[in-house]
Structure 1
Amino acid sequence: MIDNLLENLLDNMDVGMIVVNNLGEISMFNEKSKTIFNLDMSKNKYLKEIIPSLNIEDIHGIEEYITKKHKDKIIIDNKVLNIHSIPIKKADIKSGYMLLIYDITELAELNNEINKERSTIRILNYTLEMAYDGIIVIDKDGIVTMINKSYTEFLEIDQDWAIGRHVTEVIENTRMHIVAKTRIQETAQLQKIKGRYMIATRIPVIENGELVAVIGKILFKNVKELDLLYNKIRNIEDEYKKYKGEFEHSNSASYCFDNLIGNSKSFTQAKKLAKKSAQTDSNVLLRGESGTGKELFAHAIHRASERAYANFVKVNCAAIPIDLLEAELFGYEGGSFTGARKEGKMGKFELANEGSIFLDEIGDMPLHMQAKLLRVLQEKEVERVGSTRTKKIDVRIIAATNRNLEEMIKEGTFREDLYYRLNVVTINIPPLRERPEDVEILSNYLTEKVSTKLNKKIKGLSKDAVHCLMNYKWEGGVRQLENVIERAINLVGYEKLIEPNHLPKEITESKYEFENISLNDIVNEAEKDAILKALIACNWNKSMVAKKLNISRTSLYEKIEKHRILI
């Protein structure tokens, strides 16, 4: 009965028990050890079978082995165990051992989790201490549970003193305890501390419907910091807007069809065809003499097309050096040639992707570049200089020329296949000399435009002045007419009409009337006229004007002031 009682007691223990003799043979084990090691008396006869790390030669030193080598724990079959040995003696002679096995797997896992939590808390505390912004945490009762060094330095208090005190004792004019009651977040609120205004945010932390904490954070310890930050951000935004504005200005269409002034039949037909072409994606070839307004037509076509939202990129093929034209059109990789940017550069075609590119003076493009351009038109892809990769593009080409491309094809200076690629829609823009009926409306338009630019108010053009302009053969086109109008506006008095005497002699072919004009007036008028002509010819470069007129810069400035010439 006692044996049965002892057996039941051992089997109900929550500790494993194994009895072995001096040879390591298992003579007895309880239910817990059976569960731990999955013991079977018919299979497991030796201790080394369940604890492989124990050698049979060490059996006599098992007590030392277990208590010292495995003092803390051993791991068997992913189970973490503590094992203690109790010697079994008969007449003071050891006959074996009773091993007590404690399964601490769950405890070890819990301990690992606790250690991880402790590590996380240490890192969090370190992070909070390193934070420049002041941070404080209170519990639901308003007691400070954490405050970082930055905040205590700002408040000029001891960190250890603050922990455990009510927040109202620590921070003047605080609302942290109010947020703990209302549970309503307060963001970027002004708070006065030590005579200075700061900006703070207070955030309630709620878990499972219960408030567990309120976190307070100083955003700016002084409102001046906010002003400084705002000014920095505003400066950055201003620079961005300036850059964006310059980029968009240089890569956008500035004119629309309303800016194409003229009612003559030939000009109206050109505008009508241009408007139709704007509704398609076909390439357009603009043909006309210099000064006919080819670039204005290109602007207008882009702005009226479905590509108006994208870039309008302008390229003057005659103005770019031949050896740089390929890199300018197609871009290049960094370091591909001497002087190239390290980061490389996007070409005009890539920049115009999904938009339009205006190739002015296309007749001046060298033959080897014509071949490369043809490939772009055929394959719809570009390859940067120095690169082995191609990039797909979607670009609408508007080309312009004042040259006879058909004659150039015969001479072998322009590729016939490229000509047919570009010449899908051809728009011939008539020169101004072939549409004299447009001179009056153009002159009035340009007079208003230039007077606004020069900020000079005049009445307009007299009938005689308009008659002179209409009877002149404008070899220089609209550009020449605009220069003449600008010259006249500089000569005419405020709120006066432009008269024939304000126009160049080659236009009026008239003579001065001497009856009511003194010699001094004639000399002054001639001097003013000469200075104005020189200024216009030299593109308003005063140093160049002084050199051409063979006078000093000082004398030129005196005469400009004397004649009240607007610069």
Structure 2
Amino acid sequence: MVNNIVTNSILKKLNVISNNISIGIIEIDKEGIILSFNKAAEKICAIKSKQVLHKSIAEVLPKLNDIEDIEINKKVNKQKVYMKDKTICVTKIPIKKGENIEETIIFISDETEYMRLMEELERNKDISEVLEAVLEMTYDGIVVVDKEGYVRMISKVYSDFLGVDRERSIGKHVTEVIENTRMHIVAKSGIRESVDFQKVRGRYIIANRIPIIKDGEIQGAVGKVLFKNLKSFDSFSKKINKIEKQIKQYDGRSSENNNAIYSFDNIIGRGKAIEKTKNIAKKAALTTSNVLLIGESGTGKELFAHAIHKASDRAYGNFIKVNCAAIPSELLESELFGYERGSFTGANKEGKIGKFELADGGTIFLDEIGDMPLSMQVKLLRVIQEREVERVGADHIKKIDIRIIAATNRNLEKMVHERKFRQDLYYRLNVVTIRIPSLRERKEDIETLIYYLIGKISKKLNKYIKGITVEAIEYMKNYTWEGNVRQLENVIEMAINIVNYGEVIDIEHLPKEITGRRIINNIEKLEDVINKAEKEAILNALVVCKGNKSKVAKLLEISRTTLYEKMNKHDILS
């Protein structure tokens, strides 16, 4: 498949079909020369194909060329550039032949219309009038959902394509209208999804899903099928199916290539605790100082290490991870420093380059630094002070330029007092200390994380999940999560494996350690019990009434003023 794509241009194979989608597709060779340029690309870039074909992309479209360099087996996804008053989302896919990149396919989509629509929504209190006007005029497949995932508007073109009655679709949950949709996930997580492949009625479509955020709060989401004319979909779907398989080959494998694969966008949460931590980390990324990440197991210390490297000036250098607890102490020195040929029995005949040398010009991440033996701590201190390494069995030293990010779940200060960790090394590492909050300190992020993880894991397992009940979410919010986000991820994955395809996760799909906790904890103050029951009643009523506050107040037999007071009291978003 790869060789076919390299030998015969993808766009030539797709021929006219590629001009029936609103995604711009640009194909360049390994020298950066533009081989193909479809009609959508012409429109988005405001330039004719004849002006760019067989020319260097660096010369004619420098902004598309300037984004992150592509590496073998890595898909550079969902980056933004700004061209001629347009916001353009860019996805780059390298096509490899053997060990070398032969061509690159660049997908571009114009998100300006969405941005303008969001501005209109900000300026207009009556959201329906603005959207109705847009949807009546458009030839695109567009759907709008509220924050609970209920369809508020859908374009006629899209409803016709789906084979559903447009009027009857309004008010239904989006999962009842669109097969394998993730609109309700985006409406909960607030995380945009661009150029995503979705299977509908046995065929693949390409969709953008963008959250509607107003005054910092998620109000819903807008989804768009990226076709100029949905009638052209049938002929295109067979081709896009092949490309989708090709993309999967390159997705998520860059961890084998000493690259940081996570950015700050991958650290999910909008709560004060995690936002404060991210802000500190972003500032640290702009410096060259050593960083010490402190936090319980499962809080995401490695994600922060990746993100700091990726946001730094060293982003184009290697990101080398070393788990100090996983490598036997007798092998740790040869792993970190490397060794010369014939240095010891059992050594590689050609010798081996060490982790410090691999990280030269980049970052080395020393995970579980508290488990490093004292004998090795002395040698690490010398590396930090002298910025040089000496391989085992070598008679010369090598200068290196590295940044160190260390992480631990142990109390290093206490270990220093107990003489289990060198004080001088502690101060060398402890230049910028970033404490990662536990999930217990991030209660407001749990629901967002739940929806994000459902989307992520269901996609990984290729299993469509409709959603999760309010009751199940409440049980998880009240749990202590000693294993933090990693434990939450395990619980969600277990639930997805148990629940039937297309159904919702409920209490019965959660471990008893979570569902039993609330029963045990029910022996508490009467006021606390009443408050919890009151909050749950309001949340359930909001779901039943699809967010309509007047109906909620009537159902609960209280005034709207009292309802808003109680929602404010219980931190329920309006």
TM range (shorter): 0.3 to 0.5
Tell which has more relative contact order, 1 or 2 (C-alpha 8 A, sep 6+).
2
TM-score if structure 1 supplies the norm length?
Answer: 0.47
TM-score if structure 2 supplies the norm length?
Answer: 0.47
